[in-house]
Amino acid sequence: MEKRKLGAAGLEVSALGLGCMGLSHAYGPATEEKEAIALIHAAVEQGITFFDTAEVYGPFTNEMLVGKALAPFRDEVVIATKFGFNIDNDGKMNGLNSRPKHIREVVEASLKRLKTGVIDLLYQHRVDPDVPMEDVAGTVKELIWEGKVKHFGLSEAGAQSIRRAHAVQPVTALQSEYSLWWREPEAEIMPLLEELGIGFVPFSPLGKGFLTGAIDDKTTFDKTDFRNSVPRFSPEARKANQSLVDLLGKLAVDKKVTPAQIALAWLLAQKPWIAPIPGTTKLHRLQENNQSVTVSLTADDLADVESVLARVDVQGARYPEHLQKMVGR
């Protein structure tokens, strides 16, 4: 597995990380602990050194899983987690909270769940409009001084918030959605990241599974799967968007790879400071994803992909309305 550096801070990670959320949260029932630990261990064996979690995944159970699974390899890996939500006693998210006192409380709890003395990369999960970004960045700066955090990150933040945060405490990485079917960051965010020397960590690089070709308009999801509430995953939208996967499939056949590998290789080819974090619960998908780092896309290949994308008008919003309001601020 090749290594990459996230921005000017030089945080070195594997070119592909592992998004661990789906092992505990959002995509149906949680994976049995033994199987989940085996998958994380397989990721380490295959060269992945970058693991992503958050307190709200579960909530709390994903951090506990990641901490337990990575304890034997702690000095060899980079663990990223997040703060920014209120979580009720019944485990439900109840609005945003990035007040300094709350950030500190979350960090102390996360350190315990992750079984570690320091968080390698701490993201603000979503920008909190009720707390000045200077206060958020200043609190993380203090936590870095105290040795509890190594690097500061933002997730789904807008350009103004990124600039304000970076002026107080250099931002190492931005984590936001970016893939062949969500390219909005290219317009304003990616040029800003390049200007400021900030790395980019795309989540949902496989379109929440759609770009693998394993989902069509007849696919049904578990009742607890959040894709049931995502407009882009309505049966009508999936049927309309199938043309993108079909065209990618043709390119994949020509390259003797899979559509997922084309999608990940395309992301890796965009910038050297991009490190996507595909998630999976399946060992064979983990191996398939990791093999994408060996897929070399030529200039002609990339032009072919652009030609494909130009012929597809992706249908459906990427979030339900209440979640869409939290991004890009």
Q: Is 99 within 8 Å of 133 (Cβ atoms)?
A: no
Exposure string for 288-303, b = 16+ CB within 10 A, e = fewer:
bbbbbbebebeeebee
Backbone angles phi, psi at 54, to 5 degrees: -170, 155
Paired tokens of 252: 């994949």
Q: Which helix (H) or strand (E) holds 108?
A: helix 100-113
Paired tokens of 84: 């920014």
Active-site pick, 27, 57, 123, 178: 57
| DSSP conformational letter for 30 | P
Strand ranges (E), the chain: 3-6, 11-14, 18-19, 50-52, 78-83, 85-87, 93-96, 119-124, 149-155, 171-177, 199-203
Q: What 3-state class would DSSP assign to 268?
A: helix
Q: Give the count of alpha carbons within 13 A of 210, CB side only.
A: 29
Q: What 3-state class would DSSP assign to 231?
A: helix
Angle of helix 159-168 relative to helix 133-145, nearest 10 degrees, comes to 40
| DSSP conformational letter for 225 | B
Strand-pairing partners, residue 68, are none
| DSSP conformational letter for 319 | S
Angle of helix 100-113 relative to helix 133-145, nearest 10 degrees, comes to 40
Annotated catalytic residue 178: no
Q: Which residues are catalytic?
A: 57
